[in-house]
Each structure stands twice: as C-alpha cells, then as structure tokens.
Structure 1
Amino acid sequence: MRRIIPKRSKKRGLPPGTIVHVGEQRHEPVKLTVIKYDSADFQEKTVTDVKEACSFRNKSSVMWLNIDGVHQPEIIEQVGQSFGLHPLVAEDIASTGQRPKMEDFDDYIFIVLRMLRFDSAEDETKTEQMSIILGRDFVISFQEREGDVFDNIRERLKSNKGRIRKLGTDYLAYSLIDSIVDNYFAVLEKLGETIEDIEDRLVTSPTSETLKTIHDLKREIIFLRKSVWPLREVINRLERSESPLINKSTFVYLRDVYDHTIQIMDAVETFRDMLSGMLDIYLSSVSNRMNEVMKVLTVIATIFIPLTFVAGIYGM
C-alpha cells in the first residue's frame, strides 16, 4: 500500500544538507546515461561515473545527464560537487518524499515532480520522484529506478525531429515536464475505465470486494491529487520566471502544460466526487438488501409464531 506520508526517521537528528536516501530500498547499480547534442550532432553513451559524464560538457552544445537511481548518496554528492549544487538540493534529491516544487538558484533551477506511469504487466500505477536540474548548458534528471516516459524525447533527439535539437536546455526541460504531465492523462484514463466498471457492478451485483476496490481507488485519487495540486504552482512559477535560463519563447509551451494540469485537476476532482457517490450507493444497496431480508424474516415469523404458540398450548 502506498504511503501518503513517507517515513523520514533515518534523517532525524542529522544536520541540514546530509545526503541520506529515503524511499524504497534498492540494490541494483545506479545507471548514468549522457546525451549530448546540438543542431548538427548527437551522441548517447552510458558512462561509468560522474567524472566521465562531465567530460561531455561543452558550452556550445546541450548535455542531458539522466541518472537511474538515487539510492547511492555518494553519486549524488559527486554530481553536486561537479555541477555546483547546493547541499540542500542534493539532500532533497535523495529524499524521495518531496512535494513538487521549483527553486531558482540563479545558476540553475531545481524542479521536483512526481512521475506516474501505468504498468500493464502488474496492473498498477507506478510512481516515483523525478528531480530535474536546469542549467545553462546542461539538464540533469534523477529518477528512482530505470524506466520512464521519455522514450519519445530520446527518439526525437536521435532522429532530429521537430525543434528540440535547435533549441536550448530550457526547451529540453520543458519537454521532460510535458511528457510527465501527458502521462498523467494515460493514468487517469485507466482509472476512469476502472471506475466505470465499478459503476456497472454496483448496479448489478455489489460485493464486499467492490467496497475494497472503491477504497483503493479513493486512496489512489488522494495520492494523485497530492501530486497534481502543487504541480500547478510549479508550472505557474516557471511560466512567470524571470530567470535568464528560460527563454521567452518557451513560456508559451509552459502555458500549454499549465492548461493540462488544470484539466488533470478537474478530472481528479470529478473522479473523487464519483467515488464518494459510489460509496453512498454501495451503502444504500447493502441497506436495501438488509431491509429485504428483514421483510422475508418478518413474513416467516408472522406465519410460524402463531402456529408455534398454538402448538405449545395444546402440547402441554
């Protein structure tokens, strides 16, 4: 069961800026992938350490460093030292229960989001923290595990489709955020199908399993709302940012993402109201069935109690 409030006991008593992994325990090695590109060239390589990744950095091109895994604090510390990140930023990257937020540090912008994707193999929604560092000539993305929603971006970079190779780091960061937000719609679509299925079952044959499913979905919606609500503020702040790291031409795209977050929030609120109504319907249905049973028992009692009384008298 997904926790609404993550555990933070491991960080208790430690000084600010201490990098401690908080989240699901993982043991696989951290994977570092570098993509370097400009309008003419494209390179992609899986590197062994942060030092090798930094060798790809070039002010005349864009470097995207994607890190799969935040469970090795020493790697986050090396990234922080190499790219001049504040210790509190490195701490937040390793602590995976962060609220979506955006912080401007002049030389870079720190963004935290929740990445959601539906796993059809396990029939459940996977969620993880995504941290993005937007710099002048680099973008760094940290995710908790391998696998994400950025395959379309990688394909566009490889094939040089669209404008992404011609624009800077701000457009790459926008593209990552846009892919994350767009995938919320896929998750909502799956939730909508499940809710419609429950509605049909409520009318025909509600069971205790139906009640459990409704409660599970209500928790899912609460978590989704907790992820989306602050996301609107993040996009709004990016759209209104005066940072030189974000070109004015990118604002129109961020505005479009903001509109999407409004649509997602509306859908989440609608689903929450629907589930509350379905819970009321279920309880009413159970109450009605109980009333029907009581009616039958009353009829039976009306017939047999007098007979039992008479038989008792004449049997004495």
Structure 2
Amino acid sequence: MLNCCFLVSNDKIITNYEEINIRDALKDEDCFLWIDIEDTDDNDVAILEKFGFHELSIEDCIFPQNLPKIEDFDTYCFITVHGIIPRASIEEDMQMFEINTFLGKNFVVTVHEHPSAAINTVREKIRQNPLTLTKGMDLLLHAILDRIVDSYFPLAEQIDDQIEQIEEAVLTDPTQKNMEQLLHLKRVILSMRKVILPQRTIISRLSRDDISFIKHKNLVYFRDIYDHLLRIGDMLDMYRELLTNTLEVYISGTSTKMNAIIKVLTIIATFMMPLTLITSYYGMNIPMPEFAAGSHGLVIVWTLMIGTTVGLFAFFKHKKWM
C-alpha cells in the first residue's frame, strides 16, 4: 500500500503518485522524490520495478526476514534496519520489524510491513514543508534513521526500571515470578542486541565516505546516529551484567530460603527421633504391665520425653543452630 508520495521539482510539489513519471523523475537532477510503501502488495512491487531495483532487493522487501544490512549498487544503496512495534506492557515479548530503504542520488524509497512512528513523524514534517527534500535525500535518510534509533531509548529505560523493581523484590522475597521476569528481560535484551550490533556496522559505513549518495558535509549527522547506537549498546551490556548479577542473587536467595526450610525440618525430625525411639521401646500402642493402674511407668516415659526435648533444645541453642 502506497503510504505517501512526495515529488519536488523546480519548486513544483506533487503528492499524487498517478501524476508522477518515475523514469523521467530519476533522470531529472533537480527532482527529489520520496515514496513510502507499507504492507507490500503486487501494485507496490510494480512501483519498485519501475526504479530498476535488483530483484533480490525487491525480494527482501516482499519477504522481510533479514538481519540489518547494507548493499551498495550502481544507482542506489539498499539498507535494512529494524523498528520496534509498540507494546502495551513491558511484560509482552518485544517484536521488531524491518524497514527497507533505497537511497539514490535524487530519491528515497522506504518499504515496511508495519506502521512506523519514525516514518510517520518524518512524513508529517515533509508534508508541512515539502521543500525540505531539496536539502538532499541523504538528509531524509538521516531523519528516518535518527528517529528509528531514538525509538530504542524508551524501551531501554523501561528495561532499566524493571530491573530495579526485580532487584528490590529479589533482595526482599525472591519468587518464581522474579525468575520468569529475569528470563523475559534477557530475551528482550538479546533480541535488541541482535539488531543493534549489526546496525552499528551499517551506520558506521554511512558515516564514512564509502557511499557515493551521501554528501561529505552530511557525514557528521550519521556519526551522531552511530554515537546513539554506541550508547544503546553500552546500556544493553550494562543491563545484561545487572541481570546476571540479579540472577545470582536470586539463586543465592532461594538457596538460603531452602536451607532455612530444611533446617527447620531437620530440627523437627531431630526432636521427633528420640521421642519415637522412647515410645517404640515401651510399646505405647499396646497394654503393658508397667502402665497398669498405680504404676509410675507413664510418668517415667513422659519425664524421659520432656527431658530429652529440653536437652536437645538447650544443645541447639548452645551451638547456635536455632
């Protein structure tokens, strides 16, 4: 589905795709074109083919299951990065989606399966002032990538907040839910690292003179994005270490809890053992002459049982086992 279309040529602005001749626009150096496609269908594929893109690049847009990458062709540069699908809660699994971008000398084509807040923000800015495109398509690419990368920071802050909450819970009363939360966060961080680390390589290439479609004076903007990715990567590394430490504290806490339970059960069993021995020896479950009327047998047994219990209690206290 064609999400938006902007063409600026000699101060003439066209937003209706039907009025645009793509082949003529590509030949006009004074023409600047941006087309955004969401949820690709057959009509969109036909649009991509008009640009003369390589069939493998088009295939990557139709079947978006790729890691971040950058491929340099004669007439365009193909870039794949990932955006984040907004979640109602941090408890939900994180989902990311591809944003494929074709950067040419005078055009940018973006293709993605899900709505992108980053692209929607840029689209509204261009809609308010389409002449912004005349500053260069590399700056349009920068605006899109910058907002995509900035969208990672709120998620990183959510992870930070949840780690603090889990740490407090683990230190006070560790539960099975804490373990599930820790494992969930580890999956989220792993998913983010899987796309952020390759994207650092991509932005690093864009910030050098490797790509002919990016002006030398604009490289500094891409270096700024690279710095943001470095910060995100450092934050994720720190969170991963915090999670590992918290997991160790959780295991230690649950072990301490289990040891305390076993200690109580052991003490109870230790108290019961001599009592069981005494009652078994005297056969308390059957009549015996010692316990006949007027006999002191029952008193003797109770004295032994109470004395043994008090003696064990005093012994445990002396050893500081209780």
TM-score by length of 2: 0.79
Matched length: 279
Kindly state the Cα deviation for residue 41 of structure 1 after the two structures are TM-superposed.
5.8
The equivalent position to 1:140 in structure 2, one of 96, 106, 109, is: 109
Query: 1:204-262 deviations in whole A, cap 9, x for unaligned?
Result: 22211111111111111111000011111101111123433111121010111111111
**In the alignment, which residue of structure 1 is the partner of 2:237?**
269
**In the alignment, which residue of structure 1 is the partner of 2:304?**
none
Kindly state the Cα deviation for residue 42 of structure 1 after the two structures are TM-superposed.
5.0
For residues 295 and 121 of structure 1, the distance between their equivalents in structure 2, rounded to whole angstroms, comes to 40
Kindly state the Cα deviation for residue 295 of structure 1 after the two structures are TM-superposed.
0.8
**Conservation of the 8 A alpha-carbon contact between 2:70 and 2:78:** yes
**In the alignment, which residue of structure 2 is the partner of 1:8?**
none
More helix by share: 2
The equivalent position to 1:130 in structure 2, one of 84, 96, 99, is: 99
Distance 1:210-1:54 versus aligned 2 partners, 3 A rule: farther
Kindly state the Cα deviation for residue 62 of structure 1 after the two structures are TM-superposed.
2.0
Q: What SS is found at the alignment partner of 2:174?
A: coil
What letter is aligned with 1:155? E
Q: Which runs of 5+ in 1 are unaligned?
A: 1-29
**Conservation of the 8 A alpha-carbon contact between 2:83 and 2:116:** no
What letter is aligned with 1:106? D
Indicate yes or no: 2:211 matched with 1:243: yes
**In the alignment, which residue of structure 2 is the partner of 1:77?**
45
The equivalent position to 1:90 in structure 2, one of 42, 45, 58, is: 58
**Conservation of the 8 A alpha-carbon contact between 1:170 and 1:245:** yes
For residues 15 and 83 of structure 2, the distance between their equivalents in structure 1, rounded to whole angstroms, comes to 23
**In the alignment, which residue of structure 1 is the partner of 2:31?**
61
What letter is aligned with 2:249? I
For residues 225 and 115 of structure 2, the distance between their equivalents in structure 1, rounded to whole angstroms, comes to 25
For residues 278 and 13 of structure 2, the distance between their equivalents in structure 1, rounded to whole angstroms, comes to 98
Indicate yes or no: 2:174 matched with 1:203: no
For residues 145 and 253 of structure 2, the distance between their equivalents in structure 1, rounded to whole angstroms, comes to 43
**Conservation of the 8 A alpha-carbon contact between 2:2 and 2:44:** no
Q: Which runs of 5+ in 2 are unaligned?
A: 285-322
**In the alignment, which residue of structure 2 is the partner of 1:99?**
67
What letter is aligned with 2:4? T
**Conservation of the 8 A alpha-carbon contact between 2:33 and 2:107:** yes
For residues 212 and 181 of structure 1, the distance between their equivalents in structure 2, rounded to whole angstroms, comes to 28
TM-score by length of 1: 0.81
What letter is aligned with 1:170? D
Kindly state the Cα deviation for residue 159 of structure 1 after the two structures are TM-superposed.
3.1
Kindly state the Cα deviation for residue 79 of structure 1 after the two structures are TM-superposed.
3.0
Kindly state the Cα deviation for residue 31 of structure 1 after the two structures are TM-superposed.
4.1
**Conservation of the 8 A alpha-carbon contact between 1:132 and 1:142:** yes
Q: What SS is found at the alignment partner of 1:149?
A: helix
For residues 122 and 265 of structure 1, the distance between their equivalents in structure 2, rounded to whole angstroms, comes to 19
What letter is aligned with 1:145? H
**Conservation of the 8 A alpha-carbon contact between 2:205 and 2:211:** no
Q: What SS is found at the alignment partner of 2:66?
A: coil
Distance 1:155-1:228 versus aligned 2 partners, 3 A rule: same
Kindly state the Cα deviation for residue 279 of structure 1 after the two structures are TM-superposed.
1.4
What letter is aligned with 1:189? E
**In the alignment, which residue of structure 1 is the partner of 2:122?**
153
**In the alignment, which residue of structure 2 is the partner of 1:314?**
282
**Conservation of the 8 A alpha-carbon contact between 1:101 and 1:230:** yes
Kindly state the Cα deviation for residue 160 of structure 1 after the two structures are TM-superposed.
3.2
**Conservation of the 8 A alpha-carbon contact between 1:80 and 1:86:** no
The equivalent position to 1:301 in structure 2, one of 251, 258, 269, is: 269
Indicate yes or no: 2:196 matched with 1:228: yes
Distance 1:153-1:269 versus aligned 2 partners, 3 A rule: same
Indicate yes or no: 2:216 matched with 1:216: no
The equivalent position to 1:181 in structure 2, one of 138, 144, 149, is: 149
Q: What SS is found at the alignment partner of 1:306?
A: helix
RMSD in angstroms over aligned alpha carbons? 2.4
For residues 174 and 219 of structure 2, the distance between their equivalents in structure 1, rounded to whole angstroms, comes to 49
Larger radius of gyration: 2
